[in-house]
């Protein structure tokens, strides 16, 4: 079983993912928001690539909610931005959400054709690793990055997942997986300080969203595992 990491969706160039389990990460904040919404009773999330598509799909869907951001700012006219703290049970219970984000939904879509695509974050790290390991397949961790550039917080979460997955029988770690593991092990004692110093962490602090930074970096606070399949995200 090989564990590999891609730091950007554009690096997902494997011609055939049909025998690979993908775990998608966009820590600040798309996948953390998706996991939170599902934990709070959301029925399904439909990820799309752009604002126009989001509005078109919403028009074809019964009573959906719209969620999305561009450069961490809520899209005008949408019900939610991209803060996980917005997706409360009172707002999302049994609802369908159409979501478009700057980086996260692109990363989810990059794994089309995978054996399974799971949505991961710090907050469901243990659960998503347990689920991924059950398939006994190669595992590819896909980081969303930011504007086609490396994101520190995504790589740190990838390292946490590698740390959890390396105990599985017959595991082989690629250099990328080993690199993220070393990064996480060096940063885990001061995770908020390290991840918060990155580009996206600083942006959230500048937007007075320090609460999101703290929330997104909680480890193992929820136990749900959303899965992307046939254009929709739902709980397994």
Report how far Cα 154 is from the mean position of its chain's Cα atoms: 8
The kind and range of the H/E element at 54 are helix 51-59
Would the pLDDT of 14 be above 80? no
Question: What is the spatial distance between Cα 173 and Cα 60, in angstroms, rounded to a whole number?
Answer: 44
Contacts for 230 with CB less than 8 Å, ≥ 6 apart: none
**Residue 173: its pLDDT value, please?**
98
Q: According to the model, what pLDDT value does residue 213 have?
A: 98
Q: What are 135-155's pLDDT values in tens digits?
A: 999 999 999 999 999 999 999
Residues 32/215, Cβ–Cβ less than 8 Å: yes
pLDDT for residue 157 is more than 90: yes
Contacts of 184 (CB under 8 A, 6+ apart): 156, 157, 158, 159, 160, 162, 163
What is the per-residue pLDDT across 26-38, written as a single tens digit (0 to 9) for each? 999 999 999 999 9
pLDDT of residue 236: 86
Around 88, how many Cα atoms within 13 Å sit in the side-chain half-sphere?
A: 4
Over residues 171-221, the pLDDT tens digits come to 999 999 999 999 999 999 999 999 999 999 999 999 999 999 999 999 999
Q: Give me the pLDDT at residue 13, please.
A: 78
Distance, in Å, from the CA atom of 231 to the CA atom of 96, rounded to the nearest integer, reads: 13
The rounded percent of the chain whose pLDDT value lies above 90 is 97
User: Would the pLDDT of 72 be above 80?
Assistant: yes
Domains of the chain: 2-235 (3.90.1560.10)
- Asked if the model's pLDDT at residue 21 lies above 80, the reply is yes
Q: Are 126 and 86 in contact (CB under 8 A)?
A: no
Q: Radius of gyration over alpha carbons of the chain, in Å?
A: 16
């Amino acid at each position: 079983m090989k564990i590999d990491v891609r730091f950007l969706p554009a690096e997902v160039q494997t011609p055939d993912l049909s025998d690979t389990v993908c775990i998608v990460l966009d820590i600040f904040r798309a996948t953390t928001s998706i996991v939170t919404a599902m934990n709070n009773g959301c029925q399904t999330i439909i990820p799309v690539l752009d604002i126009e598509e989001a509005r078109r799909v919403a028009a074809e869907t019964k009573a959906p909610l719209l969620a999305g951001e561009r450069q961490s700012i809520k899209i005008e006219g949408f019900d939610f931005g991209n803060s996980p703290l917005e997706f409360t049970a009172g707002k999302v219970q049994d609802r369908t959400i159409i979501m478009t984000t700057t980086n996260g939904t692109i990363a989810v879509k990059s794994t089309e054709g995978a054996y399974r695509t799971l949505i991961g974050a710090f907050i469901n790290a243990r659960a998503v690793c347990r689920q991924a390991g059950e398939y006994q397949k190669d595992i590819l961790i896909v980081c969303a990055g930011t504007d086609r550039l490396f994101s520190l917080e995504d790589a740190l979460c990838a390292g946490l997942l590698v740390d959890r997955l390396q105990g599985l029988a017959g595991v082989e770690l690629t250099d990328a997986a080993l690199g993220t593991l070393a990064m996480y092990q060096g940063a885990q004692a001061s995770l908020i300080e390290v991840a918060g110093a990155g580009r996206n962490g600083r942006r959230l602090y500048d937007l007075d969203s320090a609460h999101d930074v703290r929330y997104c970096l909680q480890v193992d606070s929820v136990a749900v595992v959303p899965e992307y399949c046939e254009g929709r995200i739902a709980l397994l």
